[in-house]
Amino acid sequence: MQKQQTIKTPVCLSGVGVHTGNKTRLVFTPAPPNTGVRFVRTDIPGLPAVDAVATNVTSVCRGTTIACGGIEVHTVEHVLAAIRGCDVDNVVVELDSNEPPVGDGSATPYVRMIKSAGVEEQDAPREEFVVVEPVWASKDNAAIAIIPSPEYRVSYTMDFRHPTLPAQFVSFTVNEETFEREIASGRTFCFYHEIEALVKQGLIKGGSLENAVVIGDGVIYSKEQLRFPDEFARHKVLDLIGDMSLVGRRVRGHVIAMRSGHELNVELAKKLINVMGRSTSRTVPLRATEGMLMDVNDIKRILPHRFPFLLVDRIIEIKGREKIVAIKNVTANEPFFMGHFPERPVMPGVLIIEALAQTTGVLMLNTPENLGKLAFFMTIENAKFRRPVVPGDQLRLEVDVLRWKTKTGKVHGTALVDGQVAAEADLGFTFV
């Protein structure tokens, strides 16, 4: 289990806010476990705080604004992206105004702050929500979704149909190394024809070519050359990572976005919060139905097997990482009875062993470290077959874990019919 992290020492940065133009001093300070990211307005009596969660978002107009009790903090996405990208869980962000300093329009200044402060592990486990089914949001010709994945990944397609800006696609596994090297330095941008409207809205008061790239007709205005040929798409990923951190805990899944901006990013974050609120585990939630923890639909979210080779109908008991019990109803319509044997149908012993293996897979693959993996047989030992299994029987599949490591596992499986042992074996697996 990974531990939560915070910074070691306070560190500060001064500058102007890109939209408000206000001069601001920002200070990152260490925070205790389970604090999350909390913005504190030091310019207001009582030092009011606003937690960085999607439910506190009040505006997504050209940036993400959070507020609580009438206290606002504008344009938080680059700060949040840097904190998430540097693998920090808990930090207090002190501000003496209502918007963080924009720096060069990227997250690099904040990354440098965190690096200079240092990061330390805390004595508390890090919570992670593992996505087990797609969650999505869309509007007009933009969309965003998150689907199950063994890692946190973001893929972004940008296509504004602008003659100076061709379509761009990027995809990154989000970790500390790739964030700092590939994502953090992407700068904010706007189109030249938008500037007048933004000014009329009271925005970009602190904007300049020092902290933004402007795209005109046939020309790109920038204080320096583009940092990447696809810098604009990378900046969209930067914004998305910041907005997704508003979920309030780590999320494991693959975010796929097309033309998505702050509005859809935040909507997806809110939907994930709702999903987490309905779940009783970080993977497939257990059901409250008496006598059944998972039905066949839950099982299919974990196992890749499908008809005619899915041999587990329901899960009725799970004891931590030590034991699982499943049910397989053997009917006269099983396809293997057509050839085994037409005149005297008997369930093949190897399929009973396979049913035990699939039961093991439900237990071992429904964990954060193994989600999205496959379990392959390594060994079958001490296999014994005590009685035939025929149409009308109900197999009770009991699996006791003997050993469970990162890449391998070993269990003892017993298949019973009416309390009598039909088959048993020791099974070894590897996870790939």
Q: Which residues are catalytic?
A: 262, 340
Token pair listed for 218: 């046939």
Q: Are 177 and 162 in contact (CB under 8 A)?
A: no
Residue type, 24: T
Distance in angstroms (rounded) separating the CA atoms of residues 157 and 184: 18
Q: Alpha-carbon torsion 144, 149, 152, 154, what sign?
A: negative
Distance in angstroms (rounded) separating the CA atoms of residues 363 and 358: 9
